[in-house]
Structure 1
């Protein structure tokens, strides 16, 4: 019969083994002054012997902070999100904060549930790497802890800061790049109608019209349905595609392969996000680089400013750049 796990050691157990008071153990483990080196060493040895670990949540209830930031993600499978989280973790670690992750699984109700869970854990702030979070849920959360959204929510929420990429400017960079390569039939392909994707679509259409050309836009409900809308465009003479993100761009590479169109000899493809796998697929993907780590770092800065007492709303927009790789080339004659 398996043995039941032993009781988790407490600060009282450490005090008993070290032969000191509970308050002295608390001072020593926090690294505060007023404890001699020999006593601190004895307390540390007792804690190690017992396997004692301080309870961050309980400590947070007493001190009013947990030194933890909650991070809410729409989709862990999207490398853009994980790249942003890397920037959050780096910036948080520099100022002594840990990070708790929650996954919304591309579901608005799940995002709301996870947001409430993070706030209930008494985190010192929440960064939502998502534009899908319900407005009412954001309003409720920001009354209890600072909240920053990375991305473009449908509507800004008073009391919630945002940091985003200039989506329209990024799409315009992609159009300019393709024009310089001689392309004149350029299409935009999207698998989303969220604000960021729509901003990219508008930037594309404006840049194309300014060049005296006609926009061609395809919006598919799902990435698996993308071929249905794109194949007729490719057969009609379109020589370049701009995707709303790198995942859609990779689907475009797959579609081109199925249609017997070599990339970039017959078709150029530009992604958006410059996620980690843009340099791993073949051909390597030309992509608009959102400064993903900087988005995360900026969100942490805004969050800590809120925690420090700032009451005015800040909405920061970072500028993208284009990273040219092998998926784009001169228009074939």
Structure 2
């Protein structure tokens, strides 16, 4: 029967010394086993690992890295209210795992601004930051790069490493799809001052021009949320419906769909991002997909290159979008009609 050391108090985290006492070996031998280095016999290694398991001991790899001068942490700032940001974070974890780095997340919330989110990561001694669609000014981002490497995602910024989607091309795809279905009166609900909004407006205008529809160009104030989309849809109902709408993002498009469904108005709606909400079966939103996996791999690779002082290529990396056709777009009618009017 084994004699175990005195149990570790529940309010204290087990240490190397506790494992050494439990296994009946030296602390230095436990350290060798935990680092998976040679020097311990198979039986001793097994005894140490069993002791660690009984005590619930887990090596603090982060503390060891910090002592070495490297945290191998990539800080990520994201908006907690944005579904698309959550999709990017999911793929960033996958990309980071392949490099041996870990992520430290810091969220922007209604009562926690971006500056506070960044400050928290600086205190964690991250080796580089990945900022998803940041609201900070170009000057603020430039100052931040003097402290550590910064990679910006989903926004074009001069003088900083950027990984973004080709936003203007996305609206080209949207307008091409809608005109191919026979639509001419196509409105764009824009994203205001949100990252990418200006490029999407530009893409919409140029696509309408290319299809010979400059007089049908119509930009309606919108935003990033379902509430913004709903407000824009009410404007369309009051001022006259087009036959199709290209919304700034999927959340905005979902707000449009909600108001139009309640009003029994039928028109084609296309979103942007292909976030998890767009893929829900009861929404089934036609959308422009951003390649979050490719963008995340590029962002992590660039952050690691900068953190390790490796040679890096051009500052801005642009990933092409693609069209995903689902159930919210279809052939144009002579004019938008309500389901109720069609039944009469």
Aligned to 1:319: 320
Equivalents in 2 of 1:6, 1:283: separation in Å? 48
Q: Counterparts of 1:118-267 in structure 2 under 5 Å?
A: 118-135=121-138, 138-139=141-142, 141-153=144-156, 155-156=157-158, 158=159, 160-213=160-213, 214=215, 215-220=217-222, 223-234=226-237, 235-262=239-266, 267=267
Equivalents in 1 of 2:141, 2:52: separation in Å? 40
1:167 CA displacement: 0.1
Deviates more, 1:43-52 or 1:268-277: 43-52
Aligned to 2:81: 77
Alpha-carbon distance change, 7 to 195 in structure 1, aligned in 2, over 3 angstroms: closer
Tell which structure's C-alpha radius of gyration is larger: 2
**Contact 1:10–1:52 (CA under 8 A) maintained in structure 2:** yes
**What is the number of residues matched between the two proteins?**
321
Query: Matched residue of 1:278: which SS?
Result: coil
**Contact 1:223–1:248 (CA under 8 A) maintained in structure 2:** yes
1:231 CA displacement: 3.6
Alpha-carbon distance change, 126 to 187 in structure 1, aligned in 2, over 3 angstroms: same
**Contact 1:249–1:271 (CA under 8 A) maintained in structure 2:** yes
Q: Does 1:271 align with 2:274?
A: no
> Could you give the per-residue CA deviations for residues 143-193 of structure 1, whole angstroms, max 9, x where no partner exists?
44432111115x33x4x4210000000001100111111111110002432
Query: Matched residue of 2:44: which SS?
Result: helix
Query: Matched residue of 1:209: which SS?
Result: helix
Equivalents in 2 of 1:161, 1:218: separation in Å? 32
**Contact 2:250–2:272 (CA under 8 A) maintained in structure 1:** yes
> Could you give the per-residue CA deviations for residues 54-97 of structure 1, whole angstroms, max 9, x where no partner exists?
223421221222333322112x2322111111211111122333
TM-score computed with the length of structure 1 as normaliser = 0.87
**Contact 1:191–1:223 (CA under 8 A) maintained in structure 2:** no
Alpha-carbon distance change, 62 to 248 in structure 1, aligned in 2, over 3 angstroms: same
- What residue ranges of structure 1 are gaps of 5+ in the alignment? none
Aligned to 1:65: 70
Equivalents in 2 of 1:330, 1:304: separation in Å? 47
Query: Matched residue of 2:81: which SS?
Result: coil
1:22 CA displacement: 3.1
Aligned to 1:330: 331
> Could you give the per-residue CA deviations for residues 229-272 of structure 1, whole angstroms, max 9, x where no partner exists?
4444355341100000000000110121232213xxxx000000
Alpha-carbon distance change, 317 to 225 in structure 1, aligned in 2, over 3 angstroms: closer
TM-score computed with the length of structure 2 as normaliser = 0.85
- What residue ranges of structure 2 are gaps of 5+ in the alignment? 1-8, 335-344
